[in-house]
Amino acid sequence: MDVVIWLALLWPILLSRVPEEKRPLWMRRSLLLLLSLLSLRYLHWRCTESLNLESPTSTFLSLLLLTAEAWLLISGLVPILLSWKPYGDGRLAAIKAEAQWEASDWRPWVDVLIPTCGEPLQVLERCLQGCNQLIYKNRTLWVLDDAGRAEVKELAAQYGCCYQHRSGCSGAKAGNLNAGLANATGELVAVFDADFIPQKHFLNRCIGLLLEPNVGLVQTPQCFFNADPIMRNLGLEAWLLPDEESFYRWIEPVRSAWGAVVCAGTSFVARRSALDDVGGFIENAISEDFVTGTALTAKGWRLLYTAEKLSAGLAAETMLDFVRQRQRWAAGTIQALRLPQGPLRVKGLSMKQRLVYLEGALHWFNTIPRLILLLMPLSIGLLGVLPVHFTTTALLTNLLPLWLAFLLSVGWLNRGS
């Protein structure tokens, strides 16, 4: 027992003292093996020694708790094990590609699409100011206004943007973007949500990665210049990072290594011919970005990711907006599993790519087992049923090493996010 606990405690600590750029692959893989073995060890104990099978009620509650624990533990291990494959964050590749591009004579025309539907005028104006300051000159700015506001048309003219308002709002954001594509003629397309502001060198940094003709899209991170309502209400803005940081610092780079980059809907550059190849942005999808990216990958186009923060936007400002945003993400990801262009049904994806895309969908199913874990203590107070048998020695031997290993490793694995 002592050896297991010390190994779970000391190995992550020793690895964390090595700077990330100097960590050999075997270090990360040894940590992944340790976490996997400790998880299997814990589940073996739960299945063989801890179940309460004394009555039908205790049996049901005990098996329900075990199922919830196992689901969360295994679904949590999947993204960790995906990092077994070597991966980088794409920054150095983007810088090298930019240098190669500058030495070439390829200066494609870029249509910058800015879809809007009722955002405050001052928010949209900041976006237009940022887009208007882009260093790259071979570009056309398009304001795609689904709300049809006269003041937006005036603002677009003020910043030298083409203005477009379509009749009807079918297809939501994807339909709006496709309406813009119908009139745009550039070889490349950049998309920014109306509350995002790009850095001046955004296009210069991204276009080089599209020198390779099989690259269909380059995605950059979303970052925010305001705290989300949870952090703000708790007063922890200086201590906590938004949960999106874990996705863009760690999950996207890992998915990039497997050829399964997720399009995030804003702050990306795509090749027009690639979008045409899949019929434009997928309009029957709630998460048109995710499904369009999946369709591009299935068609053989490469999606690249660079972790350099080249734009910033507004996070959800109220708790209601925050909840609605997460509900939309969850509904969109789960809906994608049923769509013909989604990761389950689309033809052209490898089994590894499907697994990586499906791992992202599993995340949204974790709410139910988490709720079970939160409510399970009520079985003790209301029913007098203890759903798990344990001893202090069993907890110290099986639970403590696993808990310590994850606690000490998670920041190392997700790059401090």
User: Minimum mean pLDDT among 63-72, 203-212, 213-222, 236-245: which range?
Assistant: 236-245
- Measuring CA to CA, which residue among 284, 257, 252, 279 is closest to residue 268? 252
Please say if the pLDDT value at position 66 is more than 90: yes
pLDDT for residue 1: 53
- Measuring CA to CA, which residue among 250, 246, 245, 267 is closest to residue 311? 267
Give residue-wise pLDDT tens across range 316-332: 888 898 889 889 999 99
pLDDT for residue 315: 87
Cα-based distances in Å from 59 to 55, 123, 313, 383, 390: 6, 56, 50, 13, 15
Average pLDDT estimate for 260-278: 95
Give residue-wise pLDDT tens across range 136-195: 999 999 999 999 899 999 999 999 999 999 988 888 899 999 999 999 999 999 999 999
Q: Which residues of 50-86 are buried (b: 16+ CB within 10 A; e: fewer)?
A: bbbeeeeebeebbeebbebbbbebeebbebbbbbeee
Confidence category of residue 196, pLDDT binned at 50, 70, 90: very high
* pLDDT cut 70: percent of the chain above it: 98
Which run of H or E residues covers position 116? strand 110-116
Which run of H or E residues covers position 302? strand 302-305
Give residue-wise pLDDT tens across range 276-315: 999 999 999 999 999 999 999 999 999 999 999 999 999 8
- Which pairs count as long-range contacts for 168-172, CB under 8 Å and 24+ apart, including other chains? 169/117, 170/283, 171/283, 171/284, 172/283, 172/288
CB neighbours (10 Å) of residue 227?
19
pLDDT for residue 68: 96
Q: Which residue has the tokens 């079985």?
A: 379
Please say if the pLDDT value at position 2 is more than 80: no
Confidence category of residue 238, pLDDT binned at 50, 70, 90: confident
Confidence category of residue 4, pLDDT binned at 50, 70, 90: low
pLDDT for residue 233: 83
171: left (phi over 0), alpha (psi -120 to 50) or beta: left
Degrees to nearest 5, angle at CA 62 with 60 and 65: 105
Please say if the pLDDT value at position 217 is more than 70: yes
- C-alpha torsion sign, points 99, 102, 104, 106: positive
Do 94 and 209 contact (CB within 8 A), yes or no?
yes
pLDDT for residue 94: 95
Q: Which residue has the tokens 């013909």?
A: 340
Please say if the pLDDT value at position 9 is more than 90: no
CB neighbours (10 Å) of residue 361?
17
Do 191 and 266 contact (CB within 8 A), yes or no?
yes
Average pLDDT estimate for 387-414: 87
* pLDDT cut 90: percent of the chain above it: 64
Confidence category of residue 203, pLDDT binned at 50, 70, 90: very high
pLDDT for residue 230: 81
- Which residues are marked as active site? 146, 289
CB-count burial class (<10 Å; 0-12, 13-18, 19+) for 320: exposed
Do 190 and 110 contact (CB within 8 A), yes or no?
yes
Please say if the pLDDT value at position 128 is more than 80: yes
Please say if the pLDDT value at position 88 is more than 90: no
Average pLDDT estimate for 381-401: 89
Q: How far apart are CA 275 and CA 345, in angstroms?
A: 19
Q: How far apart are CA 283 and CA 341, in angstroms?
A: 11
Please say if the pLDDT value at position 395 is more than 60: yes
Residue 191 β-bridge partners: 113, 268
Tokens (6 digits) for 353: 């790519």
Task: Tell which wins on pLDDT, 274 or 21.
Answer: 274
